[in-house]
A = this chain, B = another copy of it.
Amino acid sequence: MNTIKELQHKIAELFDTRNYMSNPKELYEPIQYSLSQGGKRLRPLLSFMSCALYGGDLNEVKNAAIGLEIFHNFTLLHDDIMDESPLRRGMPSVYQKWDSNTAILSGDTMFVVAYEYVTETKPEYLIDTLRVFNQTAREVCEGQQYDMNFETQGYTTIEDYMEMIRLKTAVLIAAALKIGAIAAGAPKVEHQRIYDFGILIGLAFQLRDDFLDAFGNEETFGKPIGNDIVTDKKTYLYLKAYQLADTDTKTALDKAFALENKKEKIAKVLAIYDTLNILQITEAKINELYLEAKKLLKEVERPEDEKTEVYSFLMKLVKREV
């Protein structure tokens, strides 16, 4: 099996050799800008890993994997408008660099380009691949809607939150893995198994994101720490804190979140999180998901030594070192 490094190299090559420019340039320049920024390219990597794990030919999954990555980038263009995010990967987001209309229309075009790649899947795997892709795309939209709903509604349960991040984040990771299994001609039971595995990994991945936003290292995380606290984002940490807090602590939390001074607000909220053991509780939840995922991976009907690379990558992913 290829090492992760080799797969990452192949994917970088796939994207770096592609040019998305065409006419009208006002439409395609933002697409070129978005897709040449790189990013982790986690989703195509997962498709390649899964295809390799099931002994498939990487050429069979290549186009669908590119399609997934372009789809992911399309959602970022539109999400950044809706969430009013000025930055993406440390650069001005498309809606900020150009305007909302540009981000809408270039985003729509990226969505089509994603489908163009998926359409070039081998005919015998095309329908299965398209169905996964369609379902995932729809669920990602639903997840984004739930996320926006949560920010305006008074109370959100942890259960609702987990469902939201399943839709917004985990299904795309799961789909990336499933598409690899389909392209490798793996049996149907394995499609579902690797998908379920992906859901657990996706949830852990998002909780780690929540965790790092509060307890991470600004340099390795790549974003300012405490941003979720500053913007009152209803993360796992936030919801867990309110769930565990007694009446006095709830009042203290409300007061802390109402603070105007950003630095003071972050410090105060983190201090309360500390008294409630939010760090340990979140880490335990991530670990629980990780162990469940590991168990599913054990059930995958492939030789154990073929799974070694996946295990080691999984560890890194859940620890967010990739």
Are the C-beta atoms of A138 and B126 separated by less than 8 Å? no
A143 to B134, CA, bound (A): 25
The verdict on A149 contacting chain B, using a C-beta distance below 8 Å, is: yes
The verdict on A91 contacting chain B, using a C-beta distance below 8 Å, is: no
A123 to B122, CA, bound (A): 12
| Nearest-neighbor residue (CB-CB) of A27 within chain B | B145
The verdict on A141 contacting chain B, using a C-beta distance below 8 Å, is: yes
Contact of A27 among B23, B100, B119, B141 (CB under 8 A): B141
Interface hits, A123-146 → B, CB 8 Å: 123, 126-127, 130-131, 134, 137-138, 141-142, 144-146
> Chain B contacts of A81 at CB under 8 A?
100-101, 104
The verdict on A288 contacting chain B, using a C-beta distance below 8 Å, is: no
Q: Per DSSP, are chain A's interface residues mostly helix, strand or loop, or mixed?
A: helix
Listed stretches A9-17, A35-43, A108-116, A267-275; interface member: A108-116
A115 to B138, CA, bound (A): 10
Report how many copies the assembly holds.
2
> Chain B contacts of A148 at CB under 8 A?
26, 101, 105
- From residue A102, how far is it (CB to closest CB) to chain B in Å? 9
- From residue A281, how far is it (CB to closest CB) to chain B in Å? 28
Q: A113-B138, A138-B112, A138-B113 are in contact. Are A119 and B105 (CB under 8 A)?
A: no
Residue tally, chain A, CB below 8 Å to B: 34
> Chain B contacts of A105 at CB under 8 A?
78, 82, 141, 144-145, 148
Are the C-beta atoms of B149 and A26 separated by less than 8 Å? yes
Closest 5 CB pairs of A and B: A27-B145, A109-B141, A112-B137, A82-B101, A112-B138
Contact of A134 among B101, B108, B116 (CB under 8 A): B116
- From residue A35, how far is it (CB to closest CB) to chain B in Å? 15
- From residue A40, how far is it (CB to closest CB) to chain B in Å? 23
The verdict on A24 contacting chain B, using a C-beta distance below 8 Å, is: yes
Are the C-beta atoms of A142 and B27 separated by less than 8 Å? yes
> Chain B contacts of A113 at CB under 8 A?
138
> Chain B contacts of A146 at CB under 8 A?
24
- From residue A22, how far is it (CB to closest CB) to chain B in Å? 8
- From residue A64, how far is it (CB to closest CB) to chain B in Å? 13
Are the C-beta atoms of A145 and B78 separated by less than 8 Å? no
Are the C-beta atoms of B138 and A130 separated by less than 8 Å? no
| Most chain B beta-carbon contacts within 10 A, residue among A108, A123, A126, A130 | A108
> Chain B contacts of A24 at CB under 8 A?
142, 145-146, 149
| Nearest-neighbor residue (CB-CB) of A110 within chain B | B141
Interface hits, A117-176 → B, CB 8 Å: 119, 123, 126-127, 130-131, 134, 137-138, 141-142, 144-146, 148-149
- From residue A112, how far is it (CB to closest CB) to chain B in Å? 4
- From residue A197, how far is it (CB to closest CB) to chain B in Å? 24
A81 to B78, CA, bound (A): 13
| Most chain B beta-carbon contacts within 10 A, residue among A26, A104, A130 | A104
A176 to B274, CA, bound (A): 61
Are the C-beta atoms of B142 and A23 separated by less than 8 Å? yes
